């Protein structure tokens, strides 16, 4: 079976990238076309696929650069911070807004509270090594006085809930879908509007079965992958 030329060029670029590190620039289209003895159109197609796969990043007016490795989340009871530390990356968070709101719609359903009941809303941009990776909005049964101050500096929400408010999350359920970046999400995550995102709705319960959190998170598709692992029963 004949391999398309662009695919061969793509594999050659991947091999070339093995000698580079995240943030390094790759040669321009003209130089790569000369290197591989092909057209710039073929090189452009190969690079486009690598960008979609998250291996390369295009920066307007600057060139094309090697992407950081994707963060991997294995399906288990871990926080975002724990996931990043297990990958050897430094977790962080930028608080967008923290405050008490009146529960409405799906928030009521997921947290088991009446319409209008006070809940805490925590909106943050989660970062890996200082780069935006996810936008999350968490809803928590209120009141939780001092929560915003406790989360300043990028602290873990789960650890804060346990240590400061004695709320321990014992079980979680993640519902994973695909999504596309809205203009606001694109601005917060520094991606183009319409870029592919991974949408995760997480519900967390305490040991008594009472809901403790409901969180909507969107992760950059070029920086994140989700892995499910479980024991097979025969």
CA dist 61 and 208 (Å) reads 55
Mean of the per-residue pLDDT values of the chain: 84
* Greatest Cα-to-Cα distance within the chain, rounded to the nearest angstrom: 67
Q: What is residue 1's predicted lDDT score, i.e. its pLDDT?
A: 46
Question: What tens digit of pLDDT does each residue of 144-172 get?
Answer: 999 988 888 777 888 899 999 999 998 88
Is the per-residue pLDDT at 74 higher than 80? no
pLDDT at residue 233 tops 60: no
Tokens for 68, please give them: 């950081």
Q: What is the enclosing helix (H) or strand (E) of 12?
A: helix 5-17
Q: What is the CATH number of domain 71-226?
A: 3.40.1410.10
- Which range scores top for mean pLDDT: 16-25, 63-72, 147-156? 16-25
User: Could you tell me which residues are beta bridge partners of residue 171?
Assistant: 205
Mean pLDDT of 64-92: 65
Residue 114: pLDDT band (50, 70, 90) is very high
Task: For the chain, give every domain's residue range.
Answer: 5-66, 71-226
Half-sphere exposure of 220 (CA within 13 A, CB side): 28
Least confident interval from 2-11, 18-27, 184-193, 222-231:
222-231
Q: What is the pLDDT of residue 54?
A: 77
Fold of 5-66: Arc Repressor Mutant, subunit A (1.10.10)
Total Cβ atoms within 10 A of residue 92: 20
Chain centre distance of CA 72: 9
pTM for this predicted structure: 0.65
Tell me the β-bridge partners of 139.
121, 214
CA distances from 172 to 104, 204, 219 (A): 21, 4, 18
Q: What is the pLDDT of residue 65?
A: 93
Evaluate if residue 230 carries a pLDDT over 70. Answer: no
Sequence-distant (6+) residues with CB within 8 A of 131 are 68, 223
CB atoms within 10 A of CB 88: 8
Residue 110's pLDDT band, with cuts at 50, 70 and 90, is very high
């Amino acid at each position: 079976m004949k391999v398309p030329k662009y695919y061969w060029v793509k594999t050659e670029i991947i091999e070339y990238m093995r000698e580079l590190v995240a943030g390094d620039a790759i040669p321009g289209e003209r130089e790569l076309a000369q290197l591989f003895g092909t057209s710039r159109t073929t090189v452009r197609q190969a690079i486009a696929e690598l960008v979609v796969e998250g291996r390369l990043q295009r920066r307007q007016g600057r060139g094309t650069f090697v992407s950081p490795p994707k963060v991997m989340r294995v399906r288990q009871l871990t926080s975002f911070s724990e996931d990043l530390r297990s990958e050897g990356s430094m977790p962080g968070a930028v608080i967008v807004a923290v405050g008490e709101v009146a529960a409405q719609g799906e928030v009521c359903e997921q947290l088991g509270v009446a319409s209008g009941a006070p809940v805490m809303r925590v909106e943050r941009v989660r970062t890996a090594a200082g780069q935006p990776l996810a936008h999350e909005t968490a809803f928590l049964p209120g009141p939780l006085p001092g929560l915003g101050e406790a989360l300043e500096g990028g602290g873990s929400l789960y650890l804060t809930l346990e240590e400061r408010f004695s709320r321990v999350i014992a079980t979680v359920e993640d519902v994973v879908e695909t999504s596309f970046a809205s203009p606001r999400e694109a601005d917060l995550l520094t991606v183009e509007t319409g870029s592919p995102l991974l949408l995760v709705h997480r519900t967390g319960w305490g040991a008594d079965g009472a809901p403790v959190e409901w969180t909507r998170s969107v992760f950059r598709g070029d920086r994140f992958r989700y892995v499910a692992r479980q024991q097979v029963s025969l």
